[in-house]
Amino acid sequence: MAGTAKSYDATKIVLGPADLWLNVAVPSAGARLTVAADLTPDASANPSAIHLGMTKAGCTFEYKPEIQNFGSDELTAPHLSRIITESLSIKGEFLQVYDWSILEKITVGGTKTINTSTTSGFHQLQMGGLSAISTYPIALIGQDINTSTLYWVIQLYKTFNKSGFTFSVTRKDQSSVPFEFDGLAITTRTAGDQVGNYWKSLVAGA
Amino acid sequence: MATQIPAGPWIEEKLGKELYETLALEYGACKPEPGFRPALDLTTAFKAQEEAKGKATPKAKE
């Protein structure tokens, strides 16, 4: 009788930091986000990407299925299980509360104005009165722990920030804004690939 | 016949509303909606199209 090989593999762990990008592009069917050699979204393929910048303690990705078990009067244990709903999210707290491009994206009902006049310039975010929600794709990109040119990506194809915009101002700590991007399904994509993708590159710059 | 993909970036402002929506649907990425009009990453599909063009057999000379 032969034993079975154990799998203690330190090259398969994830260790941050990682960068969160908003408003990246949606990859075509069967494809993945195009990432440049410096492990950022490729500028040509993702011309509207916005870097979320610094976070307080990184990001948390969650995939949470709700499972329903079906049983029968005759059996003591369930005989069938099905996924009823799935929720995918990326959450954390970001620090750059002065970044108006980020603020406009994370406040579902906010609109930024950037006035660069040298005599009366200002940046602002006006809120209140809108009811439509704009959604966009996001991607979390981190470096492979084993090879600096390789990376992993968690992309959600269609999201919005359900946490709104909350921050406290105190002399004792820097302000931070909690965010939670919920993944929505793109119903026209193939079942199984409608909400997001977690993948790792095997070739640099590919 | 498949719609020809122009060079990127594949944003609505550059492609125009009609081509943007056609490419989004045809290449399986998404169906854009009023509140969801993301850029399209058609890098893989564009490369495949250009490679296919390069491999096309030239017509024999008479």
| Top-confidence residue, A41 or B8 | A41
Average pLDDT, chain A: 93
Residue spans of the domains in chain A: they are: 15-107+135-199
Residues of B in contact with A158 (CB under 8 A): 30, 36, 38
What is the arithmetic mean of pLDDT over A94-110? 89
Are the C-beta atoms of A110 and A103 separated by less than 8 Å?
yes
The fraction of chain A above a pLDDT of 70, given in percent, is 99
Take residue B34 and report the two structure tokens written for it: 């009023």
User: Which residues are paired to A180 by β-bridges?
Assistant: A91
Taking alpha carbons only, the member of B30, B1, A22 closest to residue B12 is: B30
**Which residues fall within 8 angstroms of residue A83, CB to CB, at 6 or more apart?**
A65, A66, A67
Residues of A in contact with B31 (CB under 8 A): 186-188
Residues of B in contact with A131 (CB under 8 A): none
The confidence score (pLDDT) of residue A56 equals 94
The confidence score (pLDDT) of residue B26 equals 92
Residue A205 region by backbone torsions, left for phi larger than 0, else alpha for psi between -120 and 50, else beta: left
Whether the pLDDT of residue B59 is over 70: the answer is no
Whether the pLDDT of residue B62 is over 60: the answer is no
Taking alpha carbons only, the member of A157, A152, A134, A144 closest to residue A24 is: A157
Residue in this structure with the two tokens 């440049």, named with its chain if needed: A36
- Are residues B28 and A189, on separate chains, in Cβ contact within 8 Å? yes
pLDDT band per the 50, 70, 90 thresholds, residue A140: very high
Whether the pLDDT of residue A177 is over 80: the answer is yes
What is the arithmetic mean of pLDDT over A95-114? 88
Whether the pLDDT of residue B57 is over 80: the answer is no
Among chain B residues, CA nearest to A43: B9
Expressed in percent and rounded to 5, the helix, strand and coil fractions of chain B are 45, 10, 50
Number of domains observed in the structure of chain B:
1
Among chain B residues, CA nearest to A26: B40
pLDDT in tens, B7-55: 989 999 999 999 999 999 999 888 999 999 999 999 999 999 999 888 7
The fraction of chain A above a pLDDT of 90, given in percent, is 72
pLDDT band per the 50, 70, 90 thresholds, residue A182: very high
User: Each residue of A26-64: b (16+ CB within 10 Å) or e?
Assistant: bbbbebbbbbeeebbbbeebbbbbbebeebeeebebeee
From A124's Cα to the closest Cα of chain B, the distance in A is: 22
Question: Does residue B58 fall inside a structural domain?
Answer: no
pLDDT band per the 50, 70, 90 thresholds, residue A204: confident
The confidence score (pLDDT) of residue A111 equals 87
Nearest CB partner across the interface for A45, out of B28, B30, B41: B41
Whether the pLDDT of residue A15 is over 70: the answer is yes
The confidence score (pLDDT) of residue B2 equals 84
Q: Which of B43, B46, B50 to mutate to test the interface with A (most CBs of A within 10 A)?
A: B43
* Residues spanned by the domain of B7: 1-45
From A170's Cα to the closest Cα of chain B, the distance in A is: 36
Question: Does residue B20 fall inside a structural domain?
Answer: yes
The confidence score (pLDDT) of residue A188 equals 93
pTM: 0.91
Nearest CB partner across the interface for B41, out of A23, A33, A136: A33
- Are residues B28 and A24, on separate chains, in Cβ contact within 8 Å? no
Are the C-beta atoms of A157 and A26 separated by less than 8 Å?
yes
The confidence score (pLDDT) of residue A110 equals 84
Question: Does residue B61 fall inside a structural domain?
Answer: no
- Are residues A45 and B38, on separate chains, in Cβ contact within 8 Å? no
From A26's Cα to the closest Cα of chain B, the distance in A is: 5
- Are residues A28 and B28, on separate chains, in Cβ contact within 8 Å? yes
pLDDT band per the 50, 70, 90 thresholds, residue B58: low
- Are residues A46 and B43, on separate chains, in Cβ contact within 8 Å? no
pLDDT band per the 50, 70, 90 thresholds, residue A205: low
